[in-house]
Amino acid sequence: MTALICGSFAYDNIMVFPDRFRNHILPEKVHILNVSFMVPEMRREYGGCAGNIAYNLKLLDGAALPMGTVGKDFDPYAAWLDRNGINRAHVRVIEDAFTAQAFITTDLDDNQITAFHPGAMSFAHLNRVTDADGVSIGIISPDGRDGMIEHAAQFAEAGIPFIFDPGQGMPMFDGDDLQTFIAQASWITVNDYEWQLLQERTGLSPHDVADRVRALVIALGGDGSIIYTDQKRHDIPAAAPLAIRDPTGCGDAYRAGLLFGLMHDMDWETAGRVAALMGAIKIKCHGTQNHSFERGEFEERFKNEFGYSY
């Protein structure tokens, strides 16, 4: 079973300012703000939702087929995907654009200033779901707006079940857009904040959404997750992390776990726990694709954590 993962690829440029922003921003002068922060520490990470989900699904030995648009600077990322055995047949290079990039500066109080350049992500609609052969399940994660809309319609038209994962793309869609996604999708997955936005814009309750799809999954971070299906509610516990270092990318790891569970016909209690453990493993490492494990290690930890084998 192969999962087509539609979404973004991005470079995350992470910088640390060894001071506090508040020491250098004058409130009475904020209307003419002109400030520069010296950041002696910087690292570049491979990210983007499609890249992160594919990486995590590959760790579980799942067949991951990411689809996205990238720029002329993608060669280092492409080499990383190749080293990790991730198929990039449907990663399209836009020669006159840069790969999407986030520039994140964090101070000593963990305040962040972020600039995001969408770059090649804006051309996601040039890819078509039907370009990929042998796909049995899909996911639409944050990407260019037109790409997300068109790929959802293409999945639905092709009769391929898919997860709709709006993530940080939620602000791009109004209530009518979201109602259409719900009508097309087989599953919806959001975090608690995204759920509040979806609920406000559509006027739908969790059970209303669950009546229209196979399941609504609401991730609550350290409080676990809730899965609504057929007027039933499954409360899934969080997995205990060995350390908490960086929550960035935990949602993508969680979604890879859900995909893996669906691809292996797991019940929701088990699929939710696989997803929870993936998030707990990721949070131990800085960056979104720096964690790793062998399949046997994961299975053993799952048994130790939840008391049974999947």
Q: How far apart are CA 170 and CA 145, in angstroms?
A: 10
| Cβ neighbourhood burial of 61 (10 Å; 0-12, 13-18, 19+) | exposed
Whether residue 213 has pLDDT greater than 90: yes
Query: How many Cα neighbours within 13 Å face the side chain of 272?
Result: 24
194-200 average pLDDT score: 97
Q: Identify the residue with better confidence: 109 or 3.
A: 3
Q: Which residues share a beta bridge with 113?
A: 105
Q: How far apart are CA 1 and CA 239, in angstroms?
A: 27
Whether residue 149 has pLDDT greater than 90: yes
Instruction: Decide if 39 is inside a domain.
Output: yes
Q: How far apart are CA 150 and CA 43, in angstroms?
A: 34
What pLDDT shows up at residue 275?
Answer: 98
Instruction: Decide if 181 is inside a domain.
Output: yes
CATH classification of the domain holding 113: 3.40.1190.20
For residue 27, what pLDDT band results from cuts at 50, 70 and 90?
confident
141-169 average pLDDT score: 97
Whether residue 26 has pLDDT greater than 90: no
Instruction: Decide if 1 is inside a domain.
Output: no
Domain residues for the domain of 240 are 12-24+35-306
What pLDDT shows up at residue 112?
Answer: 85
What pLDDT shows up at residue 197?
Answer: 96
The closest alpha carbon to 272, from 308, 226, 206, 216, belongs to: 226
The β-bridge relationship of strands 63-70 and 2-6 is parallel
Instruction: Decide if 188 is inside a domain.
Output: yes
What is the model's pTM?
A: 0.94
Instruction: Decide if 29 is inside a domain.
Output: no
pLDDT tens string 130-147: 999 999 999 999 999 999
Instruction: Decide if 6 is inside a domain.
Output: no
What pLDDT shows up at residue 110?
Answer: 79
Give just the sign of the alpha carbon dihedral 261, 8, 251, 169.
negative
pLDDT tens string 53-69: 999 999 999 999 999 99
Q: Identify the residue with better confidence: 51 or 30.
A: 51
Whether residue 33 has pLDDT greater than 90: no
Instruction: Decide if 115 is inside a domain.
Output: yes
pLDDT tens string 85-108: 999 999 999 999 999 999 999 899
Number of compact structural domains in the chain? 1
What pLDDT shows up at residue 13?
Answer: 93
